[in-house]
Structures are given as structure tokens and as C-alpha cells.
Chain A
Amino acid sequence: MPQPFRIAGASGFWGDRNDALLDQVRGGPIDVVMLDYLAEVTMSILRMKMMRNPNQGYAGDFLKALDPALHDIVERRIKVVTNAGGMNPRACAQAVIELARKKGIPGLRVGLVTGDDILGQLDSLAARGIALENLDTGGSFSTIRERVLSANAYLGSEPIAEALRAGAQIVVTGRCTDSALALGPLLARYDWAPHDWNRRAAGIVAGHLLECGGQGSGGNFAGAWEQVPDLANLGYPIAEVEESGEFIVTKHSGLGGLVTPAVLKEQLLYEIGDPRAYVTPDVVADFTSIRLEDLGANRVRVFGIRGMPAPEQLKVSVSYQDGWRNAVALTFVWPHALERARASERLLRARCEKRGLEIDEIHVDLIGVSGAHGPLAPAPREEPNEVLFRMAIRTRDRESAKRFGEEIAPLVLSGVPGAASGLLSGRPEESVIVNYWPTLVPRDAVRASVEVLES
């Protein structure tokens, strides 16, 4: 029996645990580590960082994770695949080369995938008659054109596979689908045929189970959360993939966490739409075909996966400036905490009016009573001991958003009684809203390019 190909997940978003990579590398045998850093919000934050400094614009956390693990990775010949490149994959790849030099590691080959950034092509796409209308709302692109900050196509797994075939040990991409970080290495390992949709779909499903880090092995598990061992040392998930496309999800035995069918079901259903058609640039996977078998001891077999041909168009994520927001909060104590929170809402609304603030929308949360679920939360059976009153606003006018933040602290002396201000640290500051505009472009509008750098 040939050894399966072992892919380990080590990051689910920018901000995840930086020591997960070292845990995966040292915890037992693996062939590849994949690290996902990109969410819808991340690319626009990275764009703004890059606008301030052209050497920034990537998820610097990747370097922090890589630093203590690089010697082990090189020694054990583990491949590392990541989309940490974000808006600036070249700067990220160069930072990896720099790190290798600093650590005295010669000959480290770093693959660089670019071509996802199509910001400079938007006008030529429009000239070709490509509408770029909002995939969700049908909205016209002209309404946001002047406020666009970034535009990135979701690349698939082929450029990653190409970089690995060209000898890269570490591959850095910009925007690619999270699951391509698993399918790319699988294509390089197994050379699955381009139209082998079932096996490609299996690779995508494996990627989907690994792309959220700890969520694939007991983190954020709602089923029986109190039974998940040692979340402080959570072992992120590992997929042991066979040439047939069947795989087993597991974790290193020396680390915490839990791998059961119930845990994997939660992750399979995470952030999906129609399960019959999970669309990626590589294949359309049918999640209703997935079968799970519990092998015990934190091992679950995943099989039966069917796929359908890849789509003709690629998804593009555009981010654009969409006004400002600010939020203020005060805690009110027993008795009549709710009434005093509601009175404070009326008071703040009157103050906004008196000061002439231009506000497009106001939202109030009564935290402790209905903060997270609003009208879905039933009324409390008894008078609450305390209520955290939070009021958030959205506006096109930055100055109004800023001045709204000035109105909360005076309530401690000039408002209704019983307010604790411990959550206030100075004046709450306004923040820019960067919104998300999903759209489609023809495949030929995007050209991925692959190069390999060496330390």
C-alpha cells in the first residue's frame, strides 16, 4: 500500500494562531502544510496597507509563523502553500527569501503566483462589454467605480501545482480559492487528469475541511463543545489523501482537538450555498455526495465525492469605500437598566439632531438581553442585573461619524444615572467601511503567472 499524501492545515484566517504551523510540522509526519489568510475583508485591509507602504500588503503573520518552523520544514522537506501574499505576493515571497537568508538557509525555492490582481484591467474589461454587475444584487458597477479599492480574481489550483512541479518548496499566492491550497499540491503529487472531476472535487472538499484551521478538528464545535479535549493545544486537521481521491481526516495524536463525523459535518456546511454545486475555478463539487465513516481514534474516512465541470467564468472580489461607521457603549446597572438604556438611545438621537449630524442609519444593541439576536431573543424573565447599551451608526459623512463618538462620554455626567464607563477609552473613533462587491469575469480575462525565486 503506498503512503497517502498528508496535507495539514495551519491557518484559517489572518489573525489565527501563529504557533499552529510549528505544531503541525513537529507533531508527526506530513507532506504539505496549507495556510489560509484571506477573508473577504482581508484584501481591502491589505490594499490600504500597501497604499501606505509599497512593501506591505501581505499577511505578515505568515512570516511570524514560518520563522521558528523554517529549519524543520527544510530538513523534513515539507512543502508549504499559502495565500498570505494577499495584495502583494511578490513582497511576501521576497520576505520569505530574506528570512531564509537570515537563517542561513541557501537554495530555498519559493514559488510566486501572481495575476489575480485585475484592478488595472477594470476599464479595459468594461470596454470589452463586461458589466461587472454585483453577483448578489445585480447592482450596476458604475455606482461604485469611483470608490473601488481593489479587484482580485479567485485563482484555482493549477498555478500552485505548476510552482510545485517547478521545484518550489514554499508557494506564495495572492487571491486564490482557499481550497486550491489543498488541490494544488494534490495535482502536483498525483497528476489527476484535467477532466477527472470527481477526484478534483475530492481535493476541493479536503481543502474545505482544512481551510478554516482549528474549525476542522474541534474548534468552535457546537455539537458537544464540552467534550473537545485541550483546545489550548488544538491540533489542526490533517487530510491523508490517496491517489483515488479518498481521504481520511485526522490530527496529530499528541495535540488536543476532536475529529468525528459531527465535527466534519459542521465544517463541510460552513459558508456554503447550494450544496449540490460548490463552485470553484477548478471544479463544481457536489457536497450532497459526500460520505463519512467514523474509523475511531480521531480518524474519519471521507469518500463518494462527485464533481462536475469547472465554470466558464471566474469570480472576482472587488472592494470599495462605502461610508463610515462608529459605535459607542455604556453599561447600565439594576434597577431599570433596560429602561435607562432605552432612555439613553432617545437622548443620543436627540443630541445627534441638535448637533446636526448627518446619519444614514442607527442600530441599537442591548447586550445581555438581545444584543446578538435582536428581535429573535425573547424578553428576559427577570429584571437584568446590567445591560450594555451599544449604539452604532453608518454615514457618508466622516465628520458626522467622528462627532458621534464625542457624544457618549458626556452621558456619564449629563445623562440618566447608573452608567459604568469602563469600556470607554477616550472617544470612540470613526472607521471607514470597505464593502465587498462580488462579480464574474470570463476566464480569459485573468492570466495567472508563476515564477520561482531562490535564496
Chain B
Amino acid sequence: MRTVLYNLAHARAGDKGDRCNIGLIARRPEFYPVLVREVTADRVKHLFGDWCKGPVERFELPNLEALNFVLHGALDGGALASLRLDTQGKTYGFALLRLEVEIPEGLTVDPLI
């Protein structure tokens, strides 16, 4: 079965220079392994396409049931120079939550969206 990532996780994004980081947090502990399996750095890089010029790194925080993504070159030169509407990439967490992911049989997900 597939669902949109928004139903499994919430996110907060921020900026450091031309890097955007997105903290992705499982809504329930049993969702964390799904995030680890489904939301790979490659998929995130592919999702952001041309809007992320550099590599995407992924870090695991199992204690917090969360992943941290660092998107290099993702802010059009950084918040201070960016021509984009969202200069700091603060809404990019919501962009990530659009991703469609596969969930295992028997895992109950409340559809929020």
C-alpha cells in the first residue's frame, strides 16, 4: 500500500548558508523504520531536482525516531542572495512530505490528508 509521507511524519526545515536542512520526524515510533527504508538521500535528491544543486546527505537519529537531511546548494546561493519566494527554505519540509511511500501490510496509518 502507498501513502503520502505527510501521514507518517512531520518536518521542520532551516538554512545555513546555501544549505537547507530538513528534520523528518516519525509521527509514531512504528513509522520510523518506514522512513529509514523509504526516504533515502537519493529519493530526496531526485524530488528536489534542479532546486538542489549539490548532494543530499541523510543522517539517522534513532533515539528521536527522526532523520536529518542536508541539501547542499539548495537555497539559490543562500537566504541573503536568493531570488526565491522562500529565501530560507523554511517551507521545504512540507515539500518533502509530498513524497509517496510504500507502507508494509498490517501497519495502520490514519489518513491526515
Contact = CB atoms under 8 A, between A and B. Distances in A.
Given A290-B64, A376-B98, A436-B17, A363 B83 contact: yes
A319 B91 CA distance: 25
Contact of B51 (A137, A262, A376): A376
Contacts of A363: 76, 83-84
Contacts of A361: 83
Interface in B1-53: 10-12, 14-19, 21, 23, 25, 27, 47-51
Contact of A371 (B65, B83, B85): B85
Interface range on chain B (Cβ under 8 Å from partner)? 35 or more
Question: Which size class do A's interface residues fall under?
Answer: 35 or more
Contacts, number: 136
A175 interface: no
A272 B24 CA distance: 12
Contacts of A270: 12, 14, 23
A451 interface: no
B81 A435 contact: yes
Interface string A403-432: 000000000000000000000000000000
A224 B14 CA distance: 19
A223 B18 CA distance: 26
A327 B76 CA distance: 15
Given A268-B64, A376-B95, A223 B25 contact: yes
6 contacts: A40-B17, A40-B80, A269-B68, A270-B23, A291-B63, A376-B49
Interface of A: 40-41, 44, 136-137, 220, 222-224, 262, 265-276, 287-292, 304, 322-323, 325, 327, 361-363, 365, 367, 371-378, 390, 392-394, 433-436, 438
Interface of B: 10-12, 14-19, 21, 23, 25, 27, 47-51, 57, 59-66, 68, 70, 76-81, 83-86, 91-95, 98
Give the top 5 A-B pairs by smallest Cβ distance, nearest first: A269-B23, A363-B83, A271-B14, A392-B83, A223-B10
Given A272-B21, A275-B68, A376-B49, 8 more contacts: A136-B19, A222-B93, A268-B64, A273-B19, A322-B81, A375-B49, A376-B51, A433-B81
